[in-house]
Amino acid sequence: MSGFDKDWLALREPADVRARNQALLKAAIEAAESTSATAILDIGCGTGSTFRALLPRLRKPAHFRLFDYDPRLLDEAQRLHGNAVEIIQGDLNQIGALPLADISLVTASALFDLCSKEFIRRFVARLSQTAASLYAALNYDGRMRWSKPHPLDEAVVANFNAHQLGDKGFGFSLGPRAWETLTACLKEGGYATTTAESPWVMTADDRGLQLSFLDGVVRAVYEYAQLDENEIRDWADFRRKMVGRDGSLCEVGHQDILAIRRG
Ligand SMILES: C[S@@+](CC[C@H](N)C(=O)[O-])C[C@H]1O[C@@H](n2cnc3c(N)ncnc32)[C@H](O)[C@@H]1O
Protein backbone atom coordinates (compact mmCIF):
# COMPACT_ATOMS: atom_id res chain seq x y z
CA MET A 1 0.00 0.00 0.00
CA SER A 2 1.13 3.51 -0.81
CA GLY A 3 0.50 5.34 2.44
CA PHE A 4 -1.72 7.84 0.63
CA ASP A 5 -4.93 8.04 2.55
CA LYS A 6 -8.25 8.39 0.70
CA ASP A 7 -9.35 11.08 3.16
CA TRP A 8 -6.21 13.11 2.42
CA LEU A 9 -6.78 12.75 -1.33
CA ALA A 10 -10.42 13.86 -0.88
CA LEU A 11 -9.33 16.83 1.23
CA ARG A 12 -6.89 18.06 -1.41
CA GLU A 13 -9.13 17.46 -4.43
CA PRO A 14 -11.02 20.81 -4.36
CA ALA A 15 -7.69 22.69 -4.20
CA ASP A 16 -6.37 20.51 -7.05
CA VAL A 17 -9.46 21.23 -9.14
CA ARG A 18 -8.99 24.99 -8.67
CA ALA A 19 -5.26 24.75 -9.31
CA ARG A 20 -5.23 22.75 -12.56
CA ASN A 21 -4.23 24.98 -15.44
CA GLN A 22 -7.40 25.17 -17.51
CA ALA A 23 -5.71 25.83 -20.85
CA LEU A 24 -3.52 22.74 -20.47
CA LEU A 25 -6.45 20.62 -19.34
CA LYS A 26 -8.42 21.70 -22.42
CA ALA A 27 -5.44 21.06 -24.70
CA ALA A 28 -4.93 17.61 -23.12
CA ILE A 29 -8.51 16.68 -23.94
CA GLU A 30 -8.14 18.00 -27.49
CA ALA A 31 -5.00 15.89 -27.89
CA ALA A 32 -6.85 12.81 -26.61
CA GLU A 33 -9.80 13.41 -28.88
CA SER A 34 -7.74 14.11 -31.99
CA THR A 35 -6.61 10.49 -32.39
CA SER A 36 -8.44 7.32 -33.31
CA ALA A 37 -7.43 5.70 -29.99
CA THR A 38 -10.26 5.91 -27.48
CA ALA A 39 -8.78 5.03 -24.10
CA ILE A 40 -7.21 7.23 -21.42
CA LEU A 41 -4.85 5.71 -18.85
CA ASP A 42 -4.51 7.47 -15.47
CA ILE A 43 -1.39 6.26 -13.67
CA GLY A 44 -1.14 6.58 -9.88
CA CYS A 45 -4.87 7.28 -10.07
CA GLY A 46 -5.64 7.16 -6.33
CA THR A 47 -9.43 7.29 -6.07
CA GLY A 48 -9.83 8.78 -9.58
CA SER A 49 -9.43 12.55 -9.18
CA THR A 50 -8.00 13.01 -12.70
CA PHE A 51 -10.91 11.03 -14.16
CA ARG A 52 -13.28 13.36 -12.30
CA ALA A 53 -11.42 16.43 -13.61
CA LEU A 54 -11.50 15.26 -17.24
CA LEU A 55 -14.92 13.64 -17.49
CA PRO A 56 -17.16 16.75 -17.58
CA ARG A 57 -14.99 18.31 -20.28
CA LEU A 58 -14.91 15.38 -22.71
CA ARG A 59 -16.78 15.85 -25.96
CA LYS A 60 -16.53 12.19 -27.00
CA PRO A 61 -16.96 9.03 -24.93
CA ALA A 62 -13.65 7.64 -23.68
CA HIS A 63 -12.70 4.42 -21.96
CA PHE A 64 -10.83 5.18 -18.72
CA ARG A 65 -8.24 2.82 -17.27
CA LEU A 66 -7.36 3.71 -13.68
CA PHE A 67 -4.01 2.25 -12.64
CA ASP A 68 -2.58 2.18 -9.10
CA TYR A 69 -0.98 -0.33 -6.79
CA ASP A 70 -2.95 0.53 -3.67
CA PRO A 71 -6.01 -1.76 -3.35
CA ARG A 72 -7.73 0.51 -0.81
CA LEU A 73 -7.63 3.48 -3.16
CA LEU A 74 -8.73 1.37 -6.10
CA ASP A 75 -11.66 0.00 -4.06
CA GLU A 76 -12.72 3.56 -3.37
CA ALA A 77 -12.41 4.46 -7.08
CA GLN A 78 -14.55 1.43 -7.93
CA ARG A 79 -17.10 2.35 -5.25
CA LEU A 80 -17.32 5.90 -6.61
CA HIS A 81 -17.40 5.10 -10.31
CA GLY A 82 -18.48 1.48 -10.77
CA ASN A 83 -18.48 0.39 -14.40
CA ALA A 84 -17.63 3.84 -15.71
CA VAL A 85 -13.95 2.97 -15.27
CA GLU A 86 -11.67 -0.02 -15.72
CA ILE A 87 -9.64 -0.60 -12.58
CA ILE A 88 -6.17 -2.08 -12.95
CA GLN A 89 -3.91 -2.89 -10.01
CA GLY A 90 -0.24 -2.84 -10.81
CA ASP A 91 3.15 -1.41 -9.90
CA LEU A 92 4.37 1.41 -12.14
CA ASN A 93 7.91 0.14 -11.72
CA GLN A 94 6.91 -2.76 -13.98
CA ILE A 95 6.86 -0.32 -16.86
CA GLY A 96 6.74 -2.98 -19.54
CA ALA A 97 3.40 -4.17 -18.14
CA LEU A 98 1.65 -0.79 -18.36
CA PRO A 99 -1.68 -1.24 -20.20
CA LEU A 100 -0.94 1.19 -23.05
CA ALA A 101 -2.83 -0.54 -25.89
CA ASP A 102 -5.23 1.85 -27.66
CA ILE A 103 -4.31 4.73 -25.31
CA SER A 104 -4.61 8.27 -26.69
CA LEU A 105 -3.59 10.03 -23.48
CA VAL A 106 -1.72 9.03 -20.35
CA THR A 107 -2.62 11.19 -17.35
CA ALA A 108 -1.09 11.56 -13.90
CA SER A 109 -1.69 13.95 -11.02
CA ALA A 110 0.56 14.57 -8.05
CA LEU A 111 2.71 11.63 -9.09
CA PHE A 112 5.96 12.58 -10.78
CA ASP A 113 7.35 14.51 -7.79
CA LEU A 114 7.59 11.08 -6.10
CA CYS A 115 9.72 9.69 -8.91
CA SER A 116 13.42 9.24 -9.56
CA LYS A 117 15.36 10.32 -12.64
CA GLU A 118 15.84 6.70 -13.65
CA PHE A 119 12.09 5.99 -13.43
CA ILE A 120 11.24 9.14 -15.42
CA ARG A 121 13.70 8.12 -18.16
CA ARG A 122 12.27 4.60 -18.31
CA PHE A 123 8.72 5.92 -18.33
CA VAL A 124 9.35 8.37 -21.19
CA ALA A 125 11.14 5.67 -23.18
CA ARG A 126 8.11 3.38 -22.76
CA LEU A 127 5.64 6.17 -23.57
CA SER A 128 7.53 7.04 -26.73
CA GLN A 129 6.96 3.52 -28.06
CA THR A 130 3.28 4.55 -28.33
CA ALA A 131 1.38 7.39 -29.99
CA ALA A 132 -0.07 8.57 -26.67
CA SER A 133 0.30 12.10 -25.30
CA LEU A 134 0.96 12.81 -21.62
CA TYR A 135 -0.89 15.16 -19.25
CA ALA A 136 0.99 15.25 -15.94
CA ALA A 137 -0.62 17.72 -13.55
CA LEU A 138 0.09 19.09 -10.09
CA ASN A 139 3.78 18.31 -9.78
CA TYR A 140 5.04 20.05 -6.61
CA ASP A 141 7.73 22.58 -7.63
CA GLY A 142 9.32 23.40 -4.27
CA ARG A 143 7.64 26.75 -3.64
CA MET A 144 5.54 27.63 -0.61
CA ARG A 145 4.51 31.14 0.27
CA TRP A 146 2.42 32.54 3.08
CA SER A 147 0.85 36.00 3.08
CA LYS A 148 2.00 36.47 6.71
CA PRO A 149 5.73 35.74 6.70
CA HIS A 150 7.66 34.06 9.53
CA PRO A 151 11.47 34.23 9.87
CA LEU A 152 11.75 30.41 9.64
CA ASP A 153 9.68 30.02 6.45
CA GLU A 154 12.65 29.76 4.10
CA ALA A 155 14.49 27.22 6.25
CA VAL A 156 11.35 25.11 6.75
CA VAL A 157 10.66 24.99 3.01
CA ALA A 158 14.30 24.14 2.24
CA ASN A 159 14.26 21.30 4.80
CA PHE A 160 10.90 20.01 3.56
CA ASN A 161 12.18 20.03 -0.04
CA ALA A 162 15.33 18.16 0.97
CA HIS A 163 13.18 15.57 2.77
CA GLN A 164 11.20 15.09 -0.45
CA LEU A 165 14.30 13.64 -2.09
CA GLY A 166 13.98 10.34 -0.20
CA ASP A 167 12.89 7.09 -1.85
CA LYS A 168 9.12 7.11 -2.39
CA GLY A 169 9.08 3.72 -4.08
CA PHE A 170 10.77 4.66 -7.38
CA GLY A 171 14.36 5.09 -6.19
CA PHE A 172 15.59 8.43 -4.85
CA SER A 173 12.95 10.99 -5.71
CA LEU A 174 13.63 14.16 -7.68
CA GLY A 175 10.92 15.85 -5.59
CA PRO A 176 10.50 19.50 -6.57
CA ARG A 177 12.88 19.13 -9.54
CA ALA A 178 11.03 16.17 -11.07
CA TRP A 179 8.82 18.30 -13.32
CA GLU A 180 11.89 19.87 -14.97
CA THR A 181 13.50 16.49 -15.58
CA LEU A 182 10.27 15.06 -16.94
CA THR A 183 9.88 18.05 -19.27
CA ALA A 184 13.49 17.75 -20.48
CA CYS A 185 13.17 13.99 -21.10
CA LEU A 186 9.93 14.51 -23.03
CA LYS A 187 11.55 17.22 -25.19
CA GLU A 188 14.52 14.94 -25.87
CA GLY A 189 12.03 12.22 -26.76
CA GLY A 190 10.57 14.44 -29.48
CA TYR A 191 7.41 15.64 -27.71
CA ALA A 192 5.96 19.13 -28.11
CA THR A 193 5.89 20.09 -24.45
CA THR A 194 4.04 22.87 -22.63
CA THR A 195 4.23 23.64 -18.92
CA ALA A 196 2.03 25.91 -16.84
CA GLU A 197 1.89 26.83 -13.18
CA SER A 198 -0.92 25.31 -11.12
CA PRO A 199 -0.44 26.55 -7.56
CA TRP A 200 -2.69 25.64 -4.68
CA VAL A 201 -4.05 28.88 -3.28
CA MET A 202 -5.41 28.06 0.16
CA THR A 203 -7.54 30.64 1.95
CA ALA A 204 -9.41 30.71 5.26
CA ASP A 205 -12.02 28.47 3.60
CA ASP A 206 -9.42 25.66 3.26
CA ARG A 207 -8.87 25.28 7.00
CA GLY A 208 -8.87 21.45 7.02
CA LEU A 209 -6.49 21.19 4.08
CA GLN A 210 -4.18 23.86 5.47
CA LEU A 211 -3.94 22.15 8.88
CA SER A 212 -3.38 18.73 7.36
CA PHE A 213 -0.81 20.10 4.93
CA LEU A 214 1.02 21.84 7.81
CA ASP A 215 1.06 18.57 9.78
CA GLY A 216 2.78 16.90 6.81
CA VAL A 217 5.33 19.69 6.47
CA VAL A 218 6.11 19.67 10.19
CA ARG A 219 6.44 15.87 10.27
CA ALA A 220 8.88 15.94 7.35
CA VAL A 221 10.97 18.73 8.84
CA TYR A 222 11.20 16.94 12.21
CA GLU A 223 12.23 13.75 10.41
CA TYR A 224 14.87 15.60 8.43
CA ALA A 225 16.26 16.70 11.82
CA GLN A 226 18.34 19.68 10.70
CA LEU A 227 16.38 22.42 12.45
CA ASP A 228 16.07 23.06 16.16
CA GLU A 229 12.93 21.28 17.47
CA ASN A 230 11.83 24.29 19.54
CA GLU A 231 12.09 26.52 16.50
CA ILE A 232 10.03 24.08 14.44
CA ARG A 233 7.39 23.96 17.18
CA ASP A 234 7.21 27.79 17.36
CA TRP A 235 6.90 27.98 13.58
CA ALA A 236 4.15 25.32 13.55
CA ASP A 237 2.24 27.11 16.37
CA PHE A 238 2.44 30.40 14.46
CA ARG A 239 1.33 28.84 11.18
CA ARG A 240 -1.58 26.96 12.81
CA LYS A 241 -2.75 30.19 14.46
CA MET A 242 -2.72 31.95 11.10
CA VAL A 243 -4.90 29.31 9.41
CA GLY A 244 -8.43 30.60 9.04
CA ARG A 245 -7.50 34.23 9.72
CA ASP A 246 -9.08 36.65 7.28
CA GLY A 247 -6.76 37.51 4.42
CA SER A 248 -4.23 34.85 5.39
CA LEU A 249 -3.17 32.85 2.32
CA CYS A 250 -0.89 29.92 1.68
CA GLU A 251 0.32 29.12 -1.83
CA VAL A 252 2.02 25.87 -2.80
CA GLY A 253 3.64 25.77 -6.22
CA HIS A 254 2.83 23.08 -8.76
CA GLN A 255 3.50 22.64 -12.45
CA ASP A 256 1.29 21.01 -15.06
CA ILE A 257 2.87 19.43 -18.13
CA LEU A 258 1.36 18.51 -21.46
CA ALA A 259 3.46 16.56 -23.95
CA ILE A 260 2.12 15.81 -27.40
CA ARG A 261 3.80 13.37 -29.70
CA ARG A 262 5.06 15.16 -32.82
CA GLY A 263 4.15 13.74 -36.22
C1 LIG B 1 -0.16 11.74 -4.32
S2 LIG B 1 -1.13 10.34 -4.75
C3 LIG B 1 -2.05 11.03 -6.11
C4 LIG B 1 -3.32 10.27 -6.40
C5 LIG B 1 -4.21 10.86 -7.49
N6 LIG B 1 -3.52 10.93 -8.76
C7 LIG B 1 -4.70 12.23 -7.09
O8 LIG B 1 -4.26 13.22 -7.67
O9 LIG B 1 -5.54 12.29 -6.17
C10 LIG B 1 0.04 9.28 -5.59
C11 LIG B 1 -0.59 8.00 -6.09
O12 LIG B 1 0.40 7.22 -6.73
C13 LIG B 1 0.21 5.86 -6.37
N14 LIG B 1 1.49 5.15 -6.50
C15 LIG B 1 2.64 5.42 -5.84
N16 LIG B 1 3.60 4.56 -6.19
C17 LIG B 1 3.05 3.70 -7.10
C18 LIG B 1 3.53 2.59 -7.84
N19 LIG B 1 4.80 2.16 -7.70
N20 LIG B 1 2.69 1.96 -8.68
C21 LIG B 1 1.40 2.38 -8.82
N22 LIG B 1 0.89 3.43 -8.15
C23 LIG B 1 1.70 4.08 -7.31
C24 LIG B 1 -0.29 5.93 -4.94
O25 LIG B 1 -0.95 4.75 -4.53
C26 LIG B 1 -1.20 7.15 -5.01
O27 LIG B 1 -2.51 6.77 -5.38
Average pLDDT over residues 136-165: 97
Q: Would you give the distance in Å from CA 191 to the centre of its chain?
A: 20
Mutate to test the pocket of ligand 1, among 2, 42, 119, 254 (most ligand atoms within 8 A of CB): 2
Residue 3 banded pLDDT, cuts 50, 70, 90: confident
Tell me which of 247 and 198 has the higher pLDDT: 198
Reply yes or no on whether the pLDDT at 1 is more than 60: no
* pLDDT score for 247: 82
How far, in Å, is the centroid of ligand 1 from the Cα of 237? 31
**Side chain identity at residue 134, one-letter code:** L
Q: What is the pLDDT of residues 49-83, one digit of tens each?
A: 999 999 999 999 999 999 999 999 999 999 999 99
Q: Comparing C-alpha atoms, which of 158, 185, 180, 165 is closest to residue 255?
A: 180
Reply yes or no on whether the pLDDT at 2 is more than 80: no
Residue 212 banded pLDDT, cuts 50, 70, 90: very high
Domain map (residue ranges) of the chain: 6-261
> Within 13 Å of residue 244, how many CA atoms lie on the same side as its CB?
7
* pLDDT score for 245: 86
As a 3-state breakdown, the chain gives helix, strand, coil percent values, each rounded to 5, of 50, 25, 30
- Domain 6-261's class? alpha beta
Q: Comparing C-alpha atoms, which of 134, 135, 132, 136 is closest to residue 35?
A: 132
How far, in Å, is the centroid of ligand 1 from the Cα of 174? 16
Reply yes or no on whether the pLDDT at 197 is more than 50: yes
Q: What is the pLDDT of residues 5-63, one digit of tens each?
A: 999 999 999 999 999 999 999 999 999 999 999 899 999 999 999 999 999 999 999 99
186 lines ligand 1 (CB under 6 A): no
* pLDDT score for 248: 85
How far, in Å, is the centroid of ligand 1 from the Cα of 68? 6
- Does residue 126 contact residue 97 with C-beta atoms inside 8 Å? no
Q: CA-CA distance, 202 to 245, in Å (whole number)?
A: 12
- Does residue 39 contact residue 103 with C-beta atoms inside 8 Å? yes
